[in-house]
A = this chain, B = another copy of it.
């Protein structure tokens, strides 16, 4: 954490970076990470700012929506319909995960969460998720807090 202080003025400008590691048991798995992000924000000491939560892989997403298990299964089915398994050109490279790349694109790989009064400034039902589309191996999310 880098911190800037100067005498007589209370505010500081800070950045703080952490990495969350995932190794899901299934190829596709959605993991709620709101509590981990909230903890990193608290530890950063940032009172006003933003936190970037961004998958470092091209077959995983980070999104904000409801922690309701029926809906999570609905989202998986919906993505399977829009990004079906198929004989993609990409598979000529030896890969077999073309549809996971497309799911990454449609869901977007990152969110920026506002921090207000030292806390994640989310709506009442907003939860942060890591969505793994090609798992069963170690993958990372970068969490970068910036603010004062």
Contact = CB atoms under 8 A, between A and B. Distances in A.
Interface of A: 2, 4-6, 9, 11, 13, 15, 17, 47-50, 52, 54-58, 63-66, 68, 70-71, 73-75, 78, 82-83, 88-93, 98, 101-102, 104-114, 116, 121-126, 140, 142, 144, 146-148
- How many copies of the polypeptide does the oligomer hold? 3
A123 to B, nearest CB: 3
A74 B98 contact: yes
Contacts of A56: 121-124, 126
A114 B49 contact: no
A58 B64 contact: yes
Contacts of A98: 71, 74
B116 A17 contact: yes
Contact of A102 (B78, B140, B147, B148): B78
B58 A66 contact: yes
List the 10 closest A-B pairs by CB distance, nearest first: A56-B123, A70-B89, A71-B90, A15-B48, A114-B144, A74-B88, A4-B11, A58-B65, A70-B90, A58-B66
